[in-house]
Amino acid sequence: MRKTLFLIGFALLLLPVFGQVTGTVFDENKSTLPGVNIFVKGTTNGTVSDLNGSFTIDVKKGVVLVFQYTGYQNKEITIESPTEKLDVYMVPDVVNMDEVVVMGYSDKTKTEVSSAVAVLNSNQLKDVTTDDLGSMLQGKVAGVQVVDATGEPGSSSQIRIRGVSTIKPGNQEPLYVVDGIIGGSFDPNDVKTVTVLKDAGATGMYGARANKGVIVITTKSGSYGKTTFNFNASVGVKIADQGNLTMMTGPEFYDWSKELYRDPETHEIDIIKFYKAYPKYLPDSNYNWVGNGFQPAITQQYNLSASGSSKKFNYYVSGVYVNEEGTFRNTDYQKLNFRLNTEYRFNKWASLRNNVNVYTNEGSYYDYMDMYYTYLALPWDNPYTPDGTLKYIDGNTPGKWWSRDKINPFHTIDNSEHRSKGVGIDYDLVLKLKFTKWLSFTSSNRLSYSTDFSHDYVSPIAAGPYHDKGYVREQQNNWRGAITTNLLHFDFEFGKNTLNGLAGIELDGGSYEYLWNEGKGLPEGFDVPSVASSELKIGGTSTIEYFNSFISQINYNYDKRYFLTASFRVDKTSNFPPDHNTAMFPSIAASWLVSNEHFFKNVSFMNLLKLRLSYGVTGDPDIGASRFMGLFSLTSQYNSNPAAIPFQLANYDLTWEHTNEFNVGLDMSFVKRVSLTFNFYNNITKDLIVLVAQPLSQGFESRWENAGEVTNTGIELNLDAIIIKSKSVEWNFGVNFSQNTNILSGIENPFYSTVSGVSQIYRNDASIYTFILPKWLGVDVQTGAPLWEKVNDDGTKEPTSNYKDATPQEVGNALPDFLGGASTSLSWKGLSLYVSVAYQYGNDIYNYTRRFMDNDGHEPYVNAMVFKPGWSRWEKPGDVATHPSMQNADLSTENSSRYLEDGSFLKIRNVTLSYSLPRRWVSAMKMTDFVLSLRADNVYTWTGFWGQDPEVTLAKGDWSMPGVTDFKYPINRQFVFNINIKF
């Protein structure tokens, strides 16, 4: 034995099979490059280049060393002699074709991808300071519409991928996949990449749930080599962005009120009569409700993470703390998020990944009525007494309170609470087994639990319906889910052919419980339900959903020139009747990498040309359980006995919505500087699940049916360019554009959706979300009366001042014609400037708030908005005016196209100025990176929309209609200072 060892040792000395490679990594400017990942291909043996770009790694002869650095092409070097000293020059690349695209069930290199996907890495995400990933995507991906509909702390944005394909209420957000498993939670700080899957070639794998698009999130994992730390801190101030909305001051509203006293005969203001009702001292009272209700707020975010690896083990651990004050009185949000990602390799063929994400949050949200009153309270009323305490006002309070509603919203806000708390945990366990060279198995499993709790409390001190009684309501939501995905993967290579794929099953189940209780009669100062002494009520419900799926995919490519991907998925869900609960979702995608053809070798100006084509079927089962059954609801009672109320008409034919998606695309890159991606798509969603209106005289409003189809057709364009790239200066520019056309067809009768009297029509050959309202024609020049358009039976049109005669017409649409964004970054040495913009064109917004703020004397005691330049009120015959005479304005504020406005905008989303400290300073501090930056978000918006910010909800819900704005929480303009340190 000893002899043998000796012999081996001797041999080693003679032939350097094992050894240490040392070297230095340089960038294209021959500067040393620290932080480059260096590892032996096919192993976890790796290291990172140090501050001087140098590295040392233990290797044996013949292995391939891989050099990886974001923004640069991967470099592979075969080690001929383990003792050599290497100088490695990294080549920057605008399109890194070897970059791995994480697509959920499978990962592919960019070369192999045959479908429309967009990838964003963490550097492209972290410009805007927010706790919401959606906001970070705004304007960055063609085909993705992100709406920041509210600025409430802790809120999330709405995302629509390639238009809107479903018209039923409820969830319209894309499917999220975190670390390869459907669902899950994450903090934006922990995100490494975001992949947006846009066509069926990619989303087909998610079959039944994919027709609203899929967003695949990958969280960070252990880096190679020794432990590195990253610390990030942001502190800033935010200000409510009221857009073009300015409420009137005391004197302005005084002048506005004078119009109420314009004599209908003489057309002069009867000032004597006016002064009788409105004392002359009034305009001296000038309280700024909006200015005081909304205050600058502090926002803070801290993140500390560590990552590292050893031969068998790698880990990433991260903690995030977010503390956001809200701009509106008494609103805030705090969050703590912890993530631990580890991977353990037992041996060459087995590994186990454990990912845990835990979060807890807490915040104060706002009450709609408090905001409503804050905007509408008159400047002549002051919420404070002269000694600085808040006034108590109710209907019987002596003395004058001018505002229509006898309430002091600040008093209410300060004597009430609207708090929420949440906890969530996701635990992932992924087992990977490599049976043979070509066959492997993965079992991905996740357990999820989340709960949130809300507490609404109104003190007995507050005025209003709970005065003297107090009110408390608490609600609890629990969600528990489990999912397991078990896949066999195969991978063959023979000659120039590559064939790989997977097949397996997925089982998914979740249960949801909801509980609430409320009570009144609270002792002052106490706010839990158990002290409530009267009107105690409880409620709650629970539901369960199951999914079973079969998943398969085959990928083939020939010589990295011709690519083919086909997938087939079968889904079964408990949401549909037994005869219709199973559906099949096939897809196929092909691409031709023209630039890899021999004949292309000589084309020097173009280094990439790829053609893509895909077709497939995806679905949407998102309607909740039991929507097909004939049901009576037992949630009522009569005289304290159970009562069953007709609730739902049966439809045992109800089944999935499914979308046939077609995509053709082109990827190009010129002179390694300019890259261009183009996509055209045509998505036809059939068997729409809709609530088809029933005659009310049946006792039901509607019935769930499959009816009609929506076609979304569009183009997407993405252009990135490196304009200047020299040793010290770099200037990049990117722009994206997407256009989408939406058409509804195949429905029997047009139907309407109405919220607060504003209607949208769903009819064949029209886009969904089309407003149908009486058409406003302005003001009668002679009488000052409002004018609407009446369409007679014979098609002729005439103006009418009688609202009842006005014909509802299609007057606009909530969906934009096109949208997108652009960004540019300019850097000089350590200094860099980044600017991004987002734009949207052609959508209409129904400004519901103007029914109150822009009335014609119907609501004389609510504050009015300052007129848009060009608006005027009719005073006397002959006046060409936009606003009717207050004396002749019957029903003028009723819903009509008067309040429908163009919602187009161009917004400077973000400006960031950052400074990276010189490397030698940083090294002196024993760090690898030190970046200081100043960021400004939502800097400026150009829009003709005369209201709050023009980003308006696209959600279809109980109180919300797409494109209708109604006293929203204003979005934030914020200025943030950020430090990022790596060591």
Verify binding: residue 493, another protein, rule CB under 8 A. no
Q: What's the CA gap between 276 and 146, in Å, rounded?
A: 52
Q: Least distance to another protein from the beta carbon of 630, Å?
A: 4
> DSSP characters for 610-623?
EEEEEEEEEEE-TT
Q: Choose the stretch contacting another protein; rule: CB under 8 A; options: 172-180, 231-239, 335-343, 853-861.
A: 853-861
* Closest separation in Å from C-beta 703 to another protein: 9
541 belongs to the binding site for another protein (CB under 8 A): yes
Report how far residue 607's alpha carbon sits from residue 614's, in angstroms, rounded to the nearest whole number. 23
- Least Å from the CB of residue 548 to another protein: 6
Least distance (Å) from another protein to the CB of residue 893?
A: 8
- Kind of pairing between the strands at 770-774 and 497-520: unpaired
- Regarding 271 and contact with another protein (CB under 8 A), the answer is no
Window of 1-9, 173-181, 269-277, 557-565 that interacts with another protein by CB under 8 A: 269-277
Contacts of 50 (CB under 8 A, 6+ apart): 34
From the number of C-beta atoms within 10 Å of its C-beta (0-12, 13-18, 19+), residue 538 rates as exposed
Q: How far is CA 565 from CA 437, 508, 588, 682, in A?
A: 21, 25, 6, 19
Stretch that binds another protein, among 46-54, 128-136, 460-468, 554-562 (CB under 8 A): 460-468
Q: State the binding string over 498-537 for another protein (x if CB under 8 A, else -).
A: -------x-x-x------------------------xx-x
CA 769 to chain centre: 20
Reference 289, options 363, 149, 386, 390; nearest CA is: 390
**Cα torsion through 122, 126, 132, 135, rounded to 10:** -110
Q: How far is the CB of 486 from another protein (least distance, A)?
A: 4
Residue from 87, 268, 468, 524 in contact with another protein (CB under 8 A):
468
Whichever of 650 and 724 has its CB closer to another protein, that residue is 650
Query: Which residues ranging from 182 to 211 are in contact with another protein (CB under 8 A)?
Result: none
Q: Binders of another protein among 552-581, rule CB under 8 A?
A: 572, 574-575, 578, 581
Cβ-contact 421, 406 below 8 angstroms: no
In the window 330-349, what residues touch another protein (CB under 8 A)?
349
What is the smallest separation between the CB atom of 321 and another protein, expressed in angstroms? 37
For another protein, the binding residues in 611-650 under the rule CB under 8 A are 625-626, 629-648, 650
Near another protein by CB under 8 A, which window of 131-139, 371-379, 539-547, 787-795?
539-547
* Only segment of 35-43, 462-470, 780-788, 813-821 that touches another protein (CB under 8 A): 462-470
Those residues with Cβ within 8 angstroms of residue 734's Cβ, 6 or more apart along the chain or in another chain: 718, 719, 720, 721, 822, 823, 824
Site string for another protein, 690-719 (x = CB under 8 A): ---xxxxxxxxx------------------
Our CB check for another protein shows the closer of 336 and 631 to be: 631
- Measured in whole angstroms, how far is the alpha carbon of residue 807 from the centre of its chain? 37
Which pairing describes strands 964-965 and 844-847: parallel, antiparallel, or unpaired?
parallel
Cα-Cα-Cα-Cα torsion 198, 204, 206, 210, nearest 10 degrees, comes to 50
Per CB under 8 A, which region of 117-125, 216-224, 446-454, 459-467 contacts another protein?
459-467
d(CA 538, CA 520): 12
Q: Which residue has the tokens 């501050």?
A: 51
- Minimum distance between the CB of residue 144 and another protein, rounded to whole angstroms? 27
Pairing of strands 332-345, 350-364: antiparallel
Letter for the amino acid at 418?
H
Question: Which member of 89, 231, 441, 449 binds another protein (CB under 8 A)?
Answer: 441
Q: Closer CB to another protein, residue 683 or residue 893? A: 893
| Contact track, another protein, 293-332, x by CB under 8 A | ----------------------------------------
Q: Report in angstroms how near the CB of residue 475 gets to another protein at its nearest.
A: 15
- Quickly tell me which residue has 């730390």 as its tokens: 229
- Strands lying side by side in the sheet with 46-48: 46-48, 37-40, 64-68, 75-78
Reduced 3-state DSSP string for 665-711: EEEEEECCCEEEEEEEEEEEEECCEEEEECCHHHCCCEEEEECCEEE
Least distance from C-beta 327 to another protein, angstroms? 28
Q: Shortest approach of another protein to residue 83 CB, angstroms?
A: 36
Residue 20 or 698 having the CB closest to another protein: 698
Query: Which tokens hold the place of 815?
Result: 């969906």
Q: How far is CA 767 from the centre of its chain?
A: 23
| 253 forms part of the interface with another protein (CB under 8 A) | no
Closest to another protein by CB, 255 vs 535, is: 535
Footprint of another protein on residues 398-437 (CB under 8 A)?
398, 431, 433, 435
What is the footprint of another protein within residues 275-294 (CB under 8 A)? Answer: 276-277
What are the tokens at 536?
């105690």
Of 306 and 429, the one with the shorter C-beta distance to another protein is 429
DSSP assignments along 365-395, one per residue: ---HHHHHHHHHS-TT--SB-TTSPBPP--T
Q: How wide is the angle at C-alpha 705 spanned by C-alphas 701 and 706, nearest 5°? A: 150
> What per-residue string of b and e applies to 789-823 under the rule 16 or more CB within 10 Å gives b?
bbeeeeeeeebbbebeebebbbbbbbbbebbbbbb
Output the smallest distance, CB 125 to another protein, in A.
35
Residues in 75-134 that interact with another protein by CB under 8 A: none
- Asked whether position 545 contacts another protein by CB under 8 A, the answer is yes
962 belongs to the binding site for another protein (CB under 8 A): no
Task: Tell me whether residue 291 or residue 646 sits nearer to another protein (CB atom).
Answer: 646
Rule CB under 8 A: say whether 439 interacts with another protein: no
Convert residues 788-807 into a mask of x (bound to another protein by CB under 8 A) and - (unbound). Answer: ----------------x---
Segment near another protein (CB under 8 A); pick from 394-402, 661-669, 716-724, 936-944: 394-402
Say whether residue 491 binds another protein (CB under 8 A).
Answer: no
Instruction: Give the interface size with another protein as a residue count (CB under 8 A).
Output: 98
Q: How far apart are CA 333 and CA 142, in angstroms?
A: 31
In angstroms and rounded to an integer, the radius of gyration of the C-alpha atoms of the chain is 32
Query: Which of 435, 940 has the CB closer to another protein?
Result: 435
Helix, strand, coil tally for the chain in percent (to 5): 10, 50, 40
Please return the burial class of 466, using the count of CB atoms within 10 Å of its CB with bins 0-12, 13-18 and 19+.
buried
Q: Check: CB of residue 208 under 8 Å from CB of residue 657.
A: no
**Among 517, 543, 713, 783, which residue interacts with another protein (rule: CB under 8 A)?**
543
Minimum distance from CB of 867 to another protein (Å)? 21
Q: Which of residues 870-899 bind another protein (CB under 8 A)?
A: 887-891, 893
Check residue 258 for interaction with another protein (CB under 8 A).
no
- Of 212-241, which residues contact another protein (CB under 8 A)? none
